[in-house]
Amino acid sequence: MDRRPVSIKDVADRAGVAIGTVSNVLNHPARVSAATRERVQGAIDELNFVRNDAARQLRAGQSRTIGLIVLDVGNPFFSSLARAAEDCASENGSTVVLGDSGQDVVREARYIDVFEQQRVQGMLISPVGDVGPRVEALRKRGMPVVLVDRVDPQRRCSSVSVDDIAGGYMAVRHLLEAGRRRIVFVGTKADYRQVADRLTGARQAVEEYDDAVLEVVEADAMTVLAGRDAGEEIARRRGSGLPDGIFCANDLLAIGVMQAVLLIRGLRIPEDLALIGYDDIDFSASTVVPLTTVRKPTELMGRTAVELLLEEIEAPASRRRQVIFDPELVERGSTTTSVRAGV
C-alpha cells in the first residue's frame, strides 16, 4: 500500500526526535536514553521502517557483503563450500552473495563487474581459465580477492586449495596397506592438472613398495559411462592381468567401474578387488558397495577463504597466503570389509 518507502526522517518525525538520534538508536544504542530509544523503536515498528542499505553504504564507503563466484552451484563441492563461507561470514557480520559463472568467462566477468559496482568488501573467486589479467585489474583498484580451489602462480593473492598429490598418495597407500599390489589407476589423459596430480601421488605411493606395480588405464571422460567402459575391459582380464586394487581419478569413474566389475564378471568387492574413488560425491555412500573415496575438506576451505579475505580487508598491506589443505580418506565398504561407520 505504502507508495514510497519509509525513511529515517519519517521515523524521526513520528518519534519527535532528530534524525541523528534515530541513527544512533540503530547504530549506537548505548548513546541514547532508554526512554527515547523505546519511543524511536516504537516508531520504527509502527512505520515498518527498513534501513536503506544503499544510503548507508554510500556514506560508510563500504558494504558488509562478500561476493562469491563459483564455477557451478550444482556441484556439491561448491554448494557446501558456499554454505560454510556464508556461516563464517555471518559470524563476522557480513553476508555472502553468490554468483554462478557456470564455467563461462562472460558470466564470470559480469559478476565481477556487478560485485565491484556494489563495492563488496571483497571477492572469493573460483576462476574460469586464466586468472591473471582480470584479478590483477581488481587488485589494482584495491579490491581484496581470494582464489578458491586454485593457486595464483604469481602469488599476488591469497588462495585456498587442496593438495591432490597428497590425495592420490593417500588413496593408493590405503590400497597398499590393505595388501593390494597390482594397482590400476583409471583417469583421463592428464589434461587436467588435478588428474595429473592424483596420478603423481599414486606413483609416489607405489614406489614405496618393492613388489607393487601401477598400471594406468585411460578413460575417455570423467563420467560413469567412461568408467563402465574401462571397468569392462579390466573385468574381462584373466590371471595376473587382473588387478587387486583400482584407484579412479574421481567417484563417477569409480561408480562406472563398480557397475562393470559387479555385473560383467561377478567379482566381489572388496574381496577380489578393492576400489577407491575421489571427491566423495553424495552418491558414493549409496552405491551397492559403499565407495571408499578421498574428500576435500570443503567446510574448512570455505571458512578459511572467508578468514583470509577478512584478514586482507582489515590489513590490506598484509602478506598474501597460499593455504593448501590435505584431503581426507573416507573409508567405506569398497576397500575394507570392516568399516567404522557407514554413512
Instruction: Say which DSSP state 285 is in.
Output: G
**Among candidates 180, 179, 224, 219, which has minimal Cα distance to 199?**
219
- Pick from 60, 106, 137, 213 the residue near DNA by CB under 7 A: 60
* Residue 118 in the binding site for DNA (CB under 7 A): no
- Applying CB under 8 A, does 137 fall inside the site for its own copies? yes
Question: Quick check: helix, strand or coil at residue 247?
Answer: strand
Distance CA 88, CA 86 (A): 5
Do the beta carbons of residue 122 and residue 158 sit within 8 Å?
A: no
In the complex, least distance from residue 21 CB atom to its own copies, rounded to whole angstroms:
20
User: Cα–Cα distances in Å, from 319 out to 133, 142, 156, 312, 323?
Assistant: 20, 14, 9, 8, 12
Start-to-end CA distance of the chain, whole Å, equals 51
Q: How many CB atoms lie within 10 A of CB 63?
A: 20
C-alpha cell at 197: 596430480
| Contacting its own copies within 145-204 (CB under 8 A) | none
CA distance 37 to 50: 17
Binding span for DNA by CB under 7 A among 56-64, 104-112, 277-285, 309-317: 56-64
Least separation in angstroms between residue 46's CB and DNA is: 15
Enumerate residues 6+ apart whose C-beta is below 8 A from 29: 37
- Please report the sign of the dihedral spanned by the C-alpha atoms of residue 29, residue 31, residue 34, residue 38: negative
9 touches DNA by CB under 7 A:
yes
Residues of span 237-266 touching its own copies by CB under 8 A: 252, 255-256, 259, 262-263
Site for its own copies in 283-312 (CB under 8 A): 283, 286, 288
Residue 244 and residue 274 in contact, taking contact as beta carbons nearer than 8 Å: yes
Answer whether 253's CB lies under 8 Å from 277's CB: yes
Nearest to 72 by CA among 47, 46, 100: 100
Please report whether residue 133 would count as binding its own copies according to CB under 8 A. Answer: no
Is 329 a binding residue for DNA by CB under 7 A? The answer is no
What grid cell was written down for 319? Answer: 602478506
Q: Which residues contact 53 (CB under 8 A, 6 or more apart)?
A: 63
- The interface partner of residue 340, options being its own copies, DNA, none and the CB cut-off 5 to 8 Å by kind, is none
Q: Which is nearer to its own copies, 140 or 238 (CB)?
A: 140
Among 7, 109, 110, 300, binds its own copies (CB under 8 A): 110
- Considering only residues 58, 213, 221, 324, which one is a binding residue for its own copies as defined by CB under 8 A? 58
Residue 48 CA to residue 12 CA, distance in Å, equals 13
Q: Identify which of residues 114 and 212 has a Cβ nearer to its own copies in the complex.
A: 114
Picked from its own copies, DNA, none, the partner binding residue 328 (CB below 5 to 8 A depending on kind) is none
Q: Which of the choices its own copies, DNA, none does residue 137 contact, using the CB cut-off of 5 to 8 A by kind?
A: its own copies
Please report whether residue 140 would count as binding its own copies according to CB under 8 A: yes
Q: Hey, which residues between 13 and 32 contact DNA (CB under 7 A)? A: 16-24, 26-27, 31-32
Can you give the binding site for its own copies, defined by CB under 8 A? Answer: 1-5, 48, 50-55, 57-58, 61, 63, 72-74, 76, 79-80, 82-83, 86, 90, 95, 97-100, 102, 107, 110-111, 113-114, 116-119, 137, 140-142, 223-225, 252, 255-256, 259, 262-263, 282-283, 286, 288
Can you give the binding site for DNA, defined by CB under 7 A? Answer: 4-5, 7-9, 16-24, 26-27, 31-33, 35-37, 49, 51-52, 55-56, 58-61
